[in-house]
Amino acid sequence: MDTEFQSENITAQSLDYWNDISNQYDILYDNYWSRTEDRKTQRLLLDHIQNSRATNIVDIGCGGGLGFRLISAVHSGITYTGIDISDGMIRLFKSRHPGVRLICAPATTALTFLEPQSFDYIFSINTSASFMSDTRALLSAIGTALKPNGHFTLSFLNESSLRRVLARERATEEIYRTRGHRTTSTGVHSEVMSESRFSALLPGTGLRVEEIEYHSVLGGVWESRISLILELALSKIAPQLSHEIIFSGVKYE
């Protein structure tokens, strides 16, 4: 299949999926497990904002505004731009946070709308980076948008997660449904990631990985208040089985 045609199909499928669940997204994530994950994500974001002294940031796959809420609860004076392909998600975001700069478009396209080399920090949380149609093109666009020495954090579905091991999944692409979503037979195209595959995508992007983290071994397997006790143990014993793999780094000069 022609690569450009395939990319367009993936983009259309992604748009349909996220629009379909936008009106129930909050309900799917209104639980103790999700709130615990949010606190961990908040610490991650704030650490990178502090270390990079970021004041101008971009949130890829901003959804209904979780990243904005996690950051603005602690930091004031941040110039924030949110990007999401779903107009349903953008409407949800605007209803909560009027006046925030938002772009409704595929991430790679949206980044080309922005001034090159003008952002301190670009991030994508909660495995959102897995739902892009062309990861290599996304990385190149991030490299263009970041200032020299600007930072990035990108969260993907982990290729070697316990969820995939139990399901005997080996392909690097899959059809994925977000947490608790079972109301339709369709899902969203996703690309799972590993350390080696991500490293192979970096040449020519101007980006360098400095840190890799693994979150949530039981994600997609057993998500409950009770299972958090087991999660704490497994995250120390076998972090490579986590649901989420997170790459953070810089744009080198």
Provide block-wise average pLDDT over 10 residues at a time, the chain (253 residues): 54 87 88 96 96 96 97 94 97 96 97 96 98 96 97 98 97 89 74 98 98 97 96 98 98 89
pLDDT of residue 6: 55
pLDDT of residue 127: 97
* Through-space distance between the first and last CA atoms of the chain, rounded to whole angstroms: 37
Question: For 193-198, which contacts have Cβ atoms below 8 Å and span 24 or more sequence positions?
Answer: 193/129, 193/130, 193/135, 193/156, 193/157, 193/158, 193/159, 193/245, 193/247, 194/158, 194/159, 194/160, 194/245, 195/245, 197/159, 197/172, 198/156, 198/247
pLDDT of residue 12: 82
Q: How many other CB atoms are there within 10 angstroms of residue 106's CB atom? A: 22
- With beta carbons less than 8 A apart as the criterion, state whether 158 and 243 touch: yes
Q: DSSP character for 81?
A: E
Q: For residue 40, give Cα distances in angstroms to 16, 126, 137.
A: 29, 11, 28
* Whether the model pTM is above 0.75: yes
Q: Which amino acid is at 32?
A: Y
Strand 56-60 with 119-124, pairing: parallel
What length does the chain have?
253
- With beta carbons less than 8 A apart as the criterion, state whether 83 and 110 touch: yes
Strand 119-124 with 188-191, pairing: unpaired
Q: CA angle, corner 146, sides to 178 and 123, nearest 5?
A: 20
pLDDT of residue 156: 98
- With beta carbons less than 8 A apart as the criterion, state whether 89 and 64 touch: yes
